Amino acid sequence: MYLLLVQNIYICSRHFSRHKTKVLIQEDMKYNFIIKKRKRKDGRHNVEIKVQHSREFQKIITTDINVFPEHFTKKKGIFRCKNTHPESAEMNRKIRVWKNRCEEAYDKSLAGAYSFNRVCDHIANKLQGGSIDEYVETYIKKYKTNATYIDIRGKIGIIKSHMKIKGKLRWEVIDRDWWDELLLTLERATNKQGNPLSNTSIKSYAIAIQSVLNDAKERGVIREYVALPKKLKTGGKKRRKKVNERLKTTSYMDLIDYIDEMPLRLEVWQDFALWHLCFCLRGMYPADIVKMTSEELDKPTFKKYFDNELHIEHLRSKTEHTDNTHMYIHVDNQIVLPLILALKRVALYKWNAKYKDKLADPMDMLKIYDYNPTEEKQWHSNRWQLHTRRLRKYGMSLLSARKSFETFAEEIEMGDKETPVEFNELARLILLGRAHDPILSKSYSNIHGRNMRQIINKAHKYVLEQYQAPLITTKLITKLMEIVSKNAPRMPYWIAIQPQATINGLYEKIIQPSDKNEQIQKKYKKSVELCNNFDLQLIGLGRKTDKGYYHIYRRDNEPEKATIFKITSEYQWYWKKYVGRNMFEVEDMDELIEHMNKKIKEKKEKYERKKAEQMLDRLKEGKGYNPNETSDRKVIQLPPRADKHLTAEVYQLKNLN
């Protein structure tokens, strides 16, 4: 016999009589309300429920009712307290609670949803989800996303805090009076800053608890619940919003000043680099940066790369479960890509010890981190809050990059009459990924047409150009070199500059495959291909002279030489997977080289022409020419190239050609 003990309720009992009541729960499953024969010390007998399924399965459930047997009716099939008892109504209500549980278990068992043990647990009120808190920690945590679970758990906790509920929030306390009390309490409550709760906050709390009730009802954990008042669903009485707080945005001149004056610390550099990346990608949020990957690139090729026409089709994290479509975003190879690669290297250095499992593959040119911010919301929020806390002293946050992008685009719309495309509210909303009605765009409006994409890309490029984004990226990369230079050799060289390839070991001779080197290669019995990517091809000849992995950097001014750095053991697991620029489809190589040379020549001519125009304008004004002058005539002083001062163990590889 199994006894499930619950809290006892003591009652006066001369008004009860002893009888057994039987109710069928399946063809051969039944339960009986019985009064235990053994007396307690006070002379009362405990009321029990005997659940039986054939002879093999039997269980005794102890209720919280203790009575004298004579206080129950003797009519067959009825188990109730006599009306002569002064509290008979309350006692019969308690009995009905147990009977209702038995009926609920009967329905579930009849539908095949409950086993015998689950029937007993249901009757004894021992099922998981016996309270709202337990339901959230079991069903919501197991079957919903991590982000949904954390959101609901937090809001239920806030409701309990405002309602001063200690312990668990039970299903049975939620009635119409409780809803009204909740509404009044939330309307009078204040947030941490001492301000009244907004209608949006009150509405979100109500939606959170209603979602739990709906889910519990669908799963059959509860039968019904009292509906929320309409006023609570809309957030209570309407309050007029205060608009006296200035929206925090950052101008490009402020950002340049912050970068110039920032302390030479890697984590501070990371804060500004992430903010700038969010801005340059049309106001992305941190979750979008985490979810961005090379798989989103639209048919990438080397030709597109050199033409600076790489694009991603990205679905915003905030609206990924809605009917909103993907954003078509230009990824600039002079602004965005160098920044992402630098952030990948900094993330490796900062996270390698504790979070190496959350670092993206080195061959993915867009993905910095490898985790799902939706499934690991709390961890994601905690990590990114560190960046925001350090940015607060500058009046910035990672979310303000989106506001700054929108505000700057609006300033262009109102003050710049020479834009390459028309700037208006629709263009700004499309840039931010908030432009279209899903129904309208699905049936009538094609914002992903070729012409529309070209217009939006022109607008995007113009915003970055006017915001001095190329200059800001250059200053960030230069500042990173300064940081590494200051901390060398403790900080490895690869943090500052992206290696061209990783090679496994050193050999007696290392050459590049060419007709000139064929005779040299024949002199050695063994040859090993060390790297073969778009930038560099190397072959190791003879015996291996040194084990381990090395980064190789081809010198621009001395193409016959290369500089290599040995990778320390703790980072080899990451860099040994890096083979260099092989992430794009290669078309006809001769045609591609000819195209590259043409682009380089055009770029040089464009630069010289622009330089001449600027010099002419300055001479007309009677002033000298300054190449570091911005469009608004403010001079930007670039620091000296710090990579000339980087120190580390260097190997010179001569005669590569």
Cβ proximity of 469 and 633 under 8 Å: no
Q: Is the pLDDT of residue 206 over 50?
A: yes
Q: How far apart are the first and last CA of the chain?
A: 89
- Render pLDDT for 522-543 as a digit per residue (tens, 0 to 9): 788 888 888 888 778 888 888 8
pTM reported for the whole predicted model: 0.67
| pLDDT level of residue 545 (50, 70, 90 thresholds) | confident
Q: Is the pLDDT of residue 468 over 60?
A: yes
Selection from 566, 418, 556 nearest residue 492 by Cα: 566
The pLDDT, as a whole number, for residue 562 is 77
- Give me the mean pLDDT over the 366-383 stretch: 89
Residue 193: other Cβ atoms inside 10 A: 5
> Cα(632)–Cα(408) distance, rounded to whole angstroms?
15
Q: Is the pLDDT of residue 638 over 90?
A: no
DSSP strands (E only) in 555-653: 562-566, 651-653
Which comes out higher in pLDDT, residue 490 or 636?
Answer: 490
Question: What single string gives the DSSP state of each residue in 362-403?
Answer: TT-SS--B-S-TTTTHHHHHHHHHHHHHHHGGGT--TTHHHH
Assigned token pair, 53: 């399924």
The pLDDT, as a whole number, for residue 470 is 92
- Render pLDDT for 564-605 as a digit per residue (tens, 0 to 9): 888 999 999 999 999 887 666 666 666 777 777 777 777 777
- Give me the mean pLDDT over the 250-278 stretch: 94
Q: Is the pLDDT of residue 387 over 60?
A: yes
Q: Is the pLDDT of residue 87 over 90?
A: no
Selection from 93, 86, 95, 89 nearest residue 66 by Cα: 95
The pLDDT, as a whole number, for residue 444 is 45
Sign of CA dihedral 119, 120, 123, 129: negative
Mean pLDDT of the chain, nearest integer: 78
- Give me the mean pLDDT over the 161-189 stretch: 88
Residue linked to tokens 């501070």: 268
- Render pLDDT for 398-439 as a digit per residue (tens, 0 to 9): 989 999 998 888 888 888 888 888 887 777 777 777 665 554
Q: Is the pLDDT of residue 358 over 60?
A: yes
| pLDDT level of residue 255 (50, 70, 90 thresholds) | very high
- Render pLDDT for 235-253 as a digit per residue (tens, 0 to 9): 888 776 554 455 588 999 9
Q: Is the pLDDT of residue 556 over 70?
A: no
Q: Is the pLDDT of residue 26 over 90?
A: no
| pLDDT level of residue 129 (50, 70, 90 thresholds) | low
